[in-house]
Amino acid sequence: MRHVYNDIGKRIRLKKILRDDKALIFAFDHGVEHGPKDFPEDRIDPRKIISIAIDSGVDAIMTTLGIASLTYDIWGGKIPMIIKLTGKTSLRPEKERLLQSVFGYVREAVAIGADAVAATVYWGSEYEDVMLDRWFSIRLTAERYGLPALQLAYPRGSAIKNMYDPEVVRYGVRAAVESGADLIKTYYTGSEESFRRVVETAAGVPILMSGGATREDPVDFLRDVKSVMRAGANGAVVGRNIFQHKDPGNMIKALLKIIHEDKEVDEVAHLVE
């Protein structure tokens, strides 16, 4: 059967990211989301950490247009690039942090050689309406160019008491599915059982765990990732637990072994301790 061109393009790009239906994606948009305080002193230069991520074998990188352009000679032709097209700073008044603004355009992501685009929707936020408008505009244009759209489906807002509550996470994931996301990144719900229900709620749309704040004990982070993989997830999108680790390359290697080789935590813990 012959598919239309953009459908073929999307399938090919998704396969590049999820080569065996699984992926470890390195998230690196924290300079805008949280500010430079997130970066250890010796890792303020994006070229260093992006080089380590690629040399250690991550499956894709998710970052901003600005960082992608500063590092194009490192990632270009080697690894799929996912451009995040929404953002907010933590300099904003707290209430306004519930809104993700436009942070680039699909045509710029296409121009720079991206394989996918990403956008955050804070489901339940006071600004849900605005973010949905942005999401559908990004998704529609991305689809036209054959680019998959990853949604960071984060339940967040004054009405949400606990954004990690499994029922709340499931709601966000289901809403992401119904808004046409090709890949969904969401919070870990704290147990394999509860995350299995999250995966089921996605009805076959690939689910990736969001890394979150750096765990005090890095082995605990490996356990979280192992548990989402057991629950049927497709991998993880990880930032701080990689670039704030004393040895980001070994953290990446340990995560890759769990995600792609189904290794047990005990078998790879020595890499991160």
C-alpha dist (Å) from residue 45 to 28, 66, 176: 12, 13, 33
Tell me the three state secondary structure of residue 87. strand
Of 31 and 146, CB closest to ligand FBP: 31
CA distance 49 to 61: 11
Exposed (0-12), middle (13-18) or buried (19+): which is 246, by Cβ within 10 Å? exposed
* Nearest distance in Å: CB 210, ligand FBP: 5
d(CA 95, CA 260): 39
* φ, ψ dihedrals at 246, nearest 5°: -65, -25
Active site annotation includes 185: yes
Count other C-beta atoms under 10 Å from residue 113's C-beta.
14
Tell the residue number behind the tokens 């301790």, with chain if given.
273
Shortest distance, position 52 Cβ to ligand FBP, whole Å: 16
Which residue's CB is nearer to ligand FBP, number 103 or number 175? 103
Residue number, 11 or 35, with CB nearest to ligand FBP: 35
- Which of 10, 84, 88, 185 is an active site residue? 185
Counting beta carbons within 10 angstroms of the beta carbon of residue 269, is it exposed (0 to 12), middle (13 to 18) or buried (19 or more)?
A: middle
Minimal distance, residue 53 CB to ligand FBP, in Å? 13
* Residue 8 CB, nearest approach to ligand FBP (Å): 29
Give the residue with the Cβ less far from ligand FBP, 9 or 157: 157
Instruction: Return the H-helix or E-strand segment holding 70.
Output: helix 65-70
Amino acid identity for residue 166 in this structure: P
Residues forming contacts to ligand FBP in the complex (CB under 6 A) are: 27, 29-30, 33, 152, 210-212, 237-241
| Cα(115)–Cα(9) distance, integer angstroms | 9
Q: Which is nearer to ligand FBP, 104 or 146 (CB)?
A: 104
Burial class of 131 by CB neighbour count within 10 A (0 to 12, 13 to 18, 19+): buried
Q: Which residue is nearest to ligand FBP (CB)?
A: 211
CB of 219 to ligand FBP, least distance (A): 17
Instruction: Provide the annotated active-site residues.
Output: 185
